[in-house]
Structure 1
Amino acid sequence: MSDQVLGTGLLNIKVDGRVRWKVGSFISGRYHLYVNCPAYISFGNTNSGISVGPAVKYQLAQICHVDV
């Protein structure tokens, strides 16, 4: 079946970059960040996700993989 017939689509969110953070005056070193999160989004039904302010939160299709 096609995604259009089912009313859902697979969105694969990937991030590959570097991150560092600041706590008080301490600034951490740089860490490599890799994220791979497949998620299904619904096209037709606006009530299929959870509203969080102006955004909508959707169910993940599989386990989200994050490496730091």
Structure 2
Amino acid sequence: MAGSVFLMIKIDGRLRWKVGTFVTGRYHIHVRCPAYITFGEQSDGVLVGENAVKFQLFSRCSVSL
């Protein structure tokens, strides 16, 4: 009814770094990003391409390795 939705974007995976020929071990990565997206005109966000709009996140993301 308010024209907006609150999303919690979560990423859970493994990460490896490569610098030249050196490859690190695997790290477990956890990411949590709260996002508050309003619906309506495209002027509420930044237009990216023809069908995509980039919105500002609600607060900082939480990342842990």
Q: Which band: TM-score by shorter chain? A: 0.7 to 0.9
- Does the C-alpha gap of structure 1 residues 51 and 24 become closer, same or farther in structure 2, counting only changes over 3 Å? farther
How far does residue 40 in structure 1 lie from its aligned partner after superposition?
1.0
In 2: Cα distance, 1:43 partner to 1:8 partner: 6
Q: Which moved more, 1:6-15 or 1:41-50?
A: 41-50
* Structure 1 residue runs without a partner (length 5+): none
* Structure 2 residue runs without a partner (length 5+): none
Given that residues 7 and 36 in structure 2 are in contact (C-alpha distance below 8 angstroms), is that contact kept between their aligned partners in structure 1? yes
Moved over 2 A (4+): 51-57
TM value normalised by structure 1: 0.75
2:7 to 11, 24, 33: 11
Q: Which residue of 2 aligns with 1:67?
A: 64
In 1: Cα distance, 2:22 partner to 2:42 partner: 43
Fraction of identical pairs, as percent: 55
TM value normalised by structure 2: 0.77
Name the amino acid aligned to 2:24.
S
Count of aligned pairs between the two proteins: 64
